Amino acid sequence: MVQPTCHFTVSFLEPGNHIYDVALDVTDLPEGRHALTLPVWTPGAYKIEDFSRHLFDLSIQNPLGSLEEITHDSKNRWLFENAGDEPLHIHYRVYAFEFGVFTSHLDQTHAYFNGAQLFLLIDDYKDIPYFVSLKKPAGWTISTGLDPDHINPGWYKALNYDILIDSPFEIGTQSIISFEVDEKPHQVAVYGHGNEDLGQLAKDLETIVKSQRQIFGSLPYNHYTFIVHLSDKSTGGLEHLNSTTCGVERFMFRPWKNYKRVLSLFSHEFFHLWNVKRIHPDMLGPFDYNKEVYTHLLWAMEGFTDYYAFLTLRRSGLYSVSDYLNALSKKLENYEKRPGKFVQSLAESSFDTWIKFYRPDEDSVNRTISYYLKGDLVGTCLDLEIRRRTGNQFSLDTVLRRLYERYGEKGIGFPESQYQDTVEEVGNSSFQDFFDKYIYGTEPIPIDEALLTAGLRIDRQYSKLKEDDTENSDSSSSQFPSPWLGIDTKNDGGYPVVVAQIYSTGPAATLINAGDQIIALNGYQVKKPDDIKNRLEYDHHIGDTVAVSLFRQGHLLTVPVVLAPKPFDKVRIVPVDNPDPGQKTLFESWLASSWNYDQQASSKTSPPSPAQ
Ligand SMILES: [Zn+2]
């Protein structure tokens, strides 16, 4: 049977209008009724976006110049009748002014697009090749993971619709720097400027590529593209088969405490080229682009990716052991303070991502747990448990490698039950109890026991405002809790102080609401969040009743709140005093470090500052 051929031409000669003009030329489309659809979501971002809301001016022309009749029969679908087997010219426009990693943007400075917003699919022709060419302003260059077409100069070719959708384009005057690993070209394409040091970034990305390749043995692509957006805010990252887009705040490249967060984002997105893009449950590819797809395994796809993002930074030497353990401490602090950890399991968090994780609200802290955060910590526990049970012969690396060899490398997804089966095969014992408690259940994770196998213990304390400006850090810690209202205020720090979320476990849970504007404590005005923190810390005790005056929907109220002890929120991970040889060995192989690691501050410094 003859398959149709589809060629997209994307034009944006007047980028200031934020409109992509898209032509789709189709040949060999059989006679009869056909459907055009646009995805409602883009893989990796589990949120219904209804991209068709930005599509307009759709028309279909046959070679005689007459227009075909189109029926718009659902939010993302259009039907038409093809009378003959003549070529068709489908034309439409897409408004694109949403700056982000999984959206599309077009302005005077650049064009960035994801295929899910631009490329219509005809019927179910997902397995035919797609061609793309671009009409762009003079002087703009193209960065994409898509392969150039070897027959038509200037065209790009995707082997199928999934690859087309999975290959974003950055087009403009971006800075480009390249390196090779295994003789494979890697391009870093950076839009925007800040305090970036591209030479350093490329060097560090090369280190990340080499470190992660070691787990799987080779790089499963011919070339790789890092698209980097530098702007006034962090917009996260999105993974693809042989590219990623990472949105970084433009001044995050110095000092080291900022830059190490940038590296963890790149490390996370790069690791995804294996974990989720190739190793994935069968629901996550090939995709249904018309509706939500459900999986219980995002803790393994995202949480374990985050675990390896940091672990491979440590193994590569980019992170010191202290950097690694400090990052782990921060994750534990975030996990511990979240009441939702005892409400939602990891499997539920994954399944409900479409309506919960991607649609957070003021109550999320109480009812949900992030599959990134808890998934990462459970990854730590599982890795150390496999190492313990197998005498350090196998690890979570082995699990991922086996799943990759059996499924990922062959381009197929696995049934969900395969994950636990593979863990049990590698661990050579049952992990039913582990999965029941920490994946399907909400029991406290066994992180203390896990870290102890590697000779580490968790020191839990309470953060305190710093009393003395001679102290180095922003806060200090104590064995004793401070008085606590159990609220978080909005971060902008301005006046009035607005309540962002209320902890269901705190003393104000039934008294103060999210959105309330707090204006006074015990009759005295508060102008900023720190006023509340300072007065609670220094002027009150646990058990005191404070009168909180607030505006609720414009109505002045004063509510009495009895101050409770703040839950511990400061974690330090420290070596045990007298480790046995087994603990030392496990530590050393897990973190690729000698037991006597740097216990000072990070050994790493920022790239040198440019001359003043
Ligand atoms: Zn991710």
User: Has residue 601 got a pLDDT over 90?
Assistant: no
- Between CA 195 and CA 246, with CA 254 as vertex, the angle to 5 degrees is 70
* pLDDT bracket for residue 491 (50, 70, 90): confident
| Identical topology for domains 284-474+578-592 and 482-565 | no
Helical (H) or strand (E) element with 554? none
Q: Note the pLDDT of residue 604.
A: 52
Q: Note the pLDDT of residue 375.
A: 98
CA distances from 536 to 465, 527, 547 (A): 10, 14, 12
CA of 318 to the centre of ligand 1 (A): 20
* pLDDT bracket for residue 85 (50, 70, 90): confident
Look up the pTM and report it. Answer: 0.95
CA of 517 to the centre of ligand 1 (A): 35
User: Has residue 574 got a pLDDT over 80?
Assistant: yes
User: Phi and psi for 163 in degrees, rounded to 5?
Assistant: -70, -35
CA distances from 472 to 19, 176, 333, 458, 468 (A): 51, 39, 20, 22, 9
Q: Note the pLDDT of residue 475.
A: 65
Burial 534-543 (b: 16+ CB within 10 A, else e): ebbeeebebe
User: What percent of the chain stands above pLDDT 90?
Assistant: 91
Query: pLDDT, tens digit, for every residue of 89-98?
Result: 999 999 999 9
CA of 272 to the centre of ligand 1 (A): 7
CA of 532 to the centre of ligand 1 (A): 36
Q: Note the pLDDT of residue 602.
A: 44
* pLDDT bracket for residue 477 (50, 70, 90): confident
CA of 271 to the centre of ligand 1 (A): 9
User: Has residue 605 got a pLDDT over 80?
Assistant: no
CA of 244 to the centre of ligand 1 (A): 10
Query: pLDDT, tens digit, for every residue of 5-58?
Result: 999 999 999 999 999 999 999 999 999 999 999 999 999 999 999 999 999 999
CATH fourth-level superfamily of 284-474+578-592: Neutral Protease Domain 2 (1.10.390.10)
* Ligand 1 ion: residues within 5 Å (CB): 302
* pLDDT bracket for residue 589 (50, 70, 90): very high
Q: Note the pLDDT of residue 170.
A: 98
User: Has residue 340 got a pLDDT over 50?
Assistant: yes
**What SS3 class is residue 15?**
helix
Distance CA 565, CA 543 (A): 8
Query: pLDDT, tens digit, for every residue of 517-534?
Result: 999 999 999 999 999 999
CA of 197 to the centre of ligand 1 (A): 25
Distance CA 58, CA 26 (A): 15
User: Mind spelling out the 3-state secondary structure of 507-550?
Assistant: CCCCCCCCCCEEEEECCEECCCHHHHHHHHHHHCCCCCEEEEEE
Distance CA 304, CA 272 (A): 10
Distance CA 118, CA 114 (A): 7
Packing angle between helix 304-316 and helix 321-336, nearest 10 degrees?
160
Distance CA 66, CA 217 (A): 56
Alpha helix (H) residue ranges in 392-528: 396-406, 418-427, 432-434, 447-453
Q: Note the pLDDT of residue 607.
A: 47
* pLDDT bracket for residue 470 (50, 70, 90): low
CA of 370 to the centre of ligand 1 (A): 12
Q: Note the pLDDT of residue 599.
A: 53
CA of 268 to the centre of ligand 1 (A): 6
Question: Using DSSP, how many helices (H) and how many strands (E) does the chain show?
Answer: 16, 31
CA of 238 to the centre of ligand 1 (A): 7
Q: Are 91 and 10 in contact (CB under 8 A)?
A: no
Distance CA 131, CA 167 (A): 12
CA of 267 to the centre of ligand 1 (A): 10
User: Has residue 608 got a pLDDT over 60?
Assistant: no
Burial 288-315 (b: 16+ CB within 10 A, else e): ebbeebebbbbbbbbbbbbbbbbbbbbb
- Stretch 540-555: mean pLDDT, rounded? 98
Q: What is the mean pLDDT of the chain?
A: 95
CA of 556 to the centre of ligand 1 (A): 44
User: What percent of the chain stands above pLDDT 70?
Assistant: 96
Domain segments of the chain: what residues?
A: 5-173, 174-273, 284-474+578-592, 482-565
Query: pLDDT, tens digit, for every residue of 350-379?
Result: 999 999 999 999 999 999 999 999 999 999
Q: Note the pLDDT of residue 492.
A: 75
Query: pLDDT, tens digit, for every residue of 279-335?
Result: 999 999 999 999 999 999 999 999 999 999 999 999 999 999 999 999 999 999 999
Considering only the top CATH level, what class is 174-273?
mainly alpha
Query: pLDDT, tens digit, for every residue of 229-266?
Result: 999 999 999 999 999 999 999 999 999 999 999 999 99
CATH number of this structure's domain 482-565: 2.30.42.10
CATH topology of domain 5-173: Immunoglobulin-like (2.60.40)
* pLDDT bracket for residue 474 (50, 70, 90): low
